[in-house]
Amino acid sequence: MPDTSQLKRVNVLGVGLSVINLKSALAAVAASLAQKSKGYVCVTGVHGVMEAQKDPRLRSILNQSFLNTPDGMPMVWVGKLHGFREMDRVYGPDLMLEVCDLTRRQGYTHFLYGGGKGVAEELQRRLELKFPGLKVVGTYTPPFRPLNSLEEAELVRIVNEKQPDIIWVGLSTPKQENFMAQYRDKFDATLMFGVGAAFDFHAGRVRQAPRWMQRSGLEWFFRLYCEPRRLWRRYFRNNPLFLFSIFCQLVGLKKYAVK
């Protein structure tokens, strides 16, 4: 694991969110790649924090990550309320583009895991057009179920044959976090990033919210508008419960430990 002892974390309902912004996140990623220090990067918003309330294993995975970035503005606001003025949103899709830009100049290689049929291949094409010199050495589209033993062995063989420096994982939470924790020591790669919907966004399959909605904490509303049948349960359950829980934490009515 990379050394993250110098990186502070803020306690959000027992989930440790890295006190970072995009610039400091990139610096940490660059250092990890240079040192070949293995680890995984989670990007966590309200959904991830609330899933971790009912899943102790997910909470442990998030807290043991190399970086656990504040993917949503509520995470940033909580951090600032704790006095971390330098903390800012490190949004998965933005982080992906910035890391691709950084690494194309240094010769690092990438592998894309996730997305529906054809998504990873289209994402590769678009990233290589956007970032000339970027090296994407492979893609893998998993089935919509856990890999069986033969598929798992084949995936490990493919990845370790390519030896990518970075593996991008485009699954939903908590699938991508569980995947990274499970395969971190099986893959011959330095860093894994769980970036979820970034695959669909950058492959042109799903629209992103306007930047002003992202910065004002309203991205969830835009995504709900675009995918109401898939997301309504998540947002109408998680958002009110998060507000109530974080209020109780901030005023001292309930304490949470980062384990």
Domains of the chain with CATH codes: 9-202 (3.40.50)
* Two structure tokens written together for 119: 């998504």
pLDDT at 226: 83
Task: Look at residue 140 in the predicted model and tell me its pLDDT.
Answer: 96
Residue 221 pLDDT? 82
With pLDDT > 90 as the criterion, what percentage of the chain qualifies? 80
Average pLDDT across the chain, whole number: 93
What angle in degrees, to the nearest 10, is found between the helix axes of 92-104 and 22-35? 50
Q: Distance between CA atoms of 168 and 109, rounded to whole angstroms?
A: 11
Q: Cα dist. 205→18, 47, 90, 208, 222 in Å?
A: 30, 22, 22, 10, 15
More confident residue, 257 or 222: 257
Residues 71-112 have pLDDT tens digits of 999 999 999 999 999 999 999 999 999 999 999 988 899 999
> pLDDT tens digit string along 200-242?
999 999 888 888 888 888 888 888 888 888 888 888 889 999 9
How far apart (Å, rounded) are the C-alpha atoms in residues 21 and 1? 21
17-29 average pLDDT score:
97
